[in-house]
Structure 1
Amino acid sequence: MGRERELDPRVSAIAQYGYRLRYYRKKANLSQDALGARVGVTGQMIGHIETAKRPTTPEMSKGFDELFGLDAYFEELWWHVRREQTPSWFRDYVAAEARAASLRLFNPLLIPGLLQTEAYTREVLRAGQQDGKLEQLVAARLARQEILNREDPPWLVFVISESALRRVVGGPEVMREQYARLLELAERPNITIHVLPDDAPVYPSGGFTIFSFDEAPDLGYAEAVNGHGPLIEQRKPIEGLRVMFDLIRSTALPTAASADLIRALMEGT
């Protein structure tokens, strides 16, 4: 066994998380394997968290707090880790996504991040990334899906192009799992998934999102190069996105037919 790498907790939130987890684990006289068993992960995963190679999850953070008798310490620190791992240009989007009462989203290229499986996400983000950074990006994207499981989840309407569904990401096994995930999510009462067929008489140039809130004006977002783009607050551009979304949705397949297409793709892989 080599010497454990020492972290400087001052350099980043993820370093502080790892440093403090190791401190409390050793104070409780637990091995990495023993701690992992308490929260449902491997000891190797605990080691990766303690050395800032992998971020954690809200569920694990809550488990650490309960185990060590802490008052939401790791749960609150997790939010700082999540913010740290989110690119600065995308933070406003993630914040709006977390606050929205409803979202309408169109994606012509890929299955939207909120609906992606871990394997699909990893393949989408893999290009040009070192393994450690890749896993941090994957965890950050999957963390956004926490809004799907909260007690008051938002209303979500997705329109996904048929070409995005047919685009093979990571191979047949990854796609089968992803199709199954879409079918499972489509059964939830707050989630609607439409497929825009390839022969639909509408040709939007890029993806976009409309955020609606209980007591605030809508916000919009239109993808630019590499996904970079500011949130849209002006009334006219947002109204244009609403009109475009309604047009796209009107030419998309109904939900039952969309599910049938996804199921056929799953069975054909």
Structure 2
Amino acid sequence: MGRERDLDPNVSPRAFFGSELRRCRKRIGLSQPQLGERTTYSPDMIGKIERGERPPSPEFVAQCDELFGLDGHFHRLYQFMLQTPGPAWFTRWLEEIEPRATVLRTWDPLLVPGLFQTEEYARYVFRGAPGITPEEIEERLKIRMRRKALLEQEPLPMMWILIDEYVLQRPVADPEAMSRQMRYLAEVVQRPHVTVQLVAASCVTGMMSAFMIAQLPGGQPDVVNVESSAEGRITADHEVVGHIWSRYDTIRASAYPEYLSRQKIEEAIPIWERRAGST
């Protein structure tokens, strides 16, 4: 049997699944051989799953959910492991945090936020990843578009969205795609549960990274998701959450009023339409 060692759950979705399996096994006081006795897998194979070296089978996933009494937790992790090309930290956010949030606050200094991206715009964004294959682009698009179901769910979470004003001008896609993205963004900001404010490009505090803050029901602590181009971090640590809240408040202090932000978004549409007509 492979020696147990520390595993970074952020390495991959498979590593995240393995770390969750180990955590749940130890929580109820089972060794790997004891878990093997209750499932169809050998202790050696369980060790490889926990180390992220082998994927589990659907049968093993179902057995774990039943054994640990988790009502589909491992099944959902398994589905995201199969479908999500991104890192495990974001898998956890998509599955466990964002759908349960009562309020979402986000800041994005570079792009239209993922929840508000058109499929066309998102495809251009994903194409920029070094070495990405067409198949990987399509997989990421599926995840991005499926995530947008959050905008239609009941009850609807309140959304307070901060976006750097230069995002409206940044030529991420061709002019036709950009004009369609701006029209969609103008439509989304009319929804009663969505508040979008553009932030002056001179706001230095916002230059470090994008982030999201989720308020959860039942008095649970806030959770933050701090992103960068290479990695991310999800945590409910009081000190980290407090720091991100301070950044959010400081950035929002440099934001335009909601009505003016909507006006600027609407003004961006004909600008991109003229660019499209001149190409």
Q: TM-score, normalised by structure 2?
A: 0.64
Match of 1:261 among 250, 258, 264: 264
Matched residue pairs, number? 192
Match of 1:252 among 248, 251, 255: 255
Q: Which residue of 1 aligns with 2:161?
A: 158
Q: Aligned partners of 1:223 and 1:133: how far apart in 2?
A: 20
**Paired residues of 2:100 and 2:217 also in contact (CA < 8 A):** no
Q: Which residue of 2 aligns with 1:219?
A: 223
Q: Which residue of 2 aligns with 1:122?
A: 123
Match of 1:84 among 75, 82, 85: 82
Q: Which residue of 1 aligns with 2:49?
A: none
Q: 1:202 to 1:234 in 2, by over 3 A?
A: closer
Q: 1:204 to 1:192 in 2, by over 3 A?
A: same
Deviation at 1:243, TM superposition (A): 1.5
Q: Which residue of 2 aligns with 1:112?
A: 113
SS at match of 1:129: coil
* Equivalent AA in structure 2 for residue 94 of structure 1: L
Q: Aligned partners of 2:141 and 2:264: how far apart in 1?
A: 27
SS at match of 2:233: coil
Q: Which residue of 2 aligns with 1:171?
A: 174
Match of 1:181 among 164, 184, 199: 184
Q: 1:136 to 1:78 in 2, by over 3 A?
A: farther
List gaps (5 residues or longer) in structure 2. 1-74, 273-279
**Paired residues of 1:201 and 1:251 also in contact (CA < 8 A):** no
Match of 1:143 among 113, 130, 146: 146
Q: Aligned partners of 2:144 and 2:78: how far apart in 1?
A: 15
Q: 1:255 to 1:263 in 2, by over 3 A?
A: same
Q: Which residue of 2 aligns with 1:94?
A: 94
Identity across aligned pairs (percent)?
29
Deviation at 1:140, TM superposition (A): 0.8
Q: Aligned partners of 2:117 and 2:78: how far apart in 1?
A: 23
Deviation at 1:203, TM superposition (A): 4.3
Q: 1:78 to 1:122 in 2, by over 3 A?
A: farther
Q: Check if 1:232 corresponds to 2:230.
A: no
List gaps (5 residues or longer) in structure 1. 1-76
**Paired residues of 1:202 and 1:251 also in contact (CA < 8 A):** no
SS at match of 2:195: strand
**Paired residues of 2:109 and 2:206 also in contact (CA < 8 A):** no
- Deviations 1:19-70 (Å, cap 9, x if unpaired)? xxxxxxxxxxxxxxxxxxxxxxxxxxxxxxxxxxxxxxxxxxxxxxxxxxxx
Q: Aligned partners of 2:79 and 2:235: how far apart in 1?
A: 26
* Equivalent AA in structure 1 for residue 101 of structure 2: A
Q: 1:131 to 1:78 in 2, by over 3 A?
A: farther
Deviation at 1:202, TM superposition (A): 4.2
Q: Aligned partners of 1:168 and 1:112: how far apart in 2?
A: 15
SS at match of 1:220: strand
Q: 1:173 to 1:79 in 2, by over 3 A?
A: farther
**Paired residues of 2:205 and 2:247 also in contact (CA < 8 A):** no
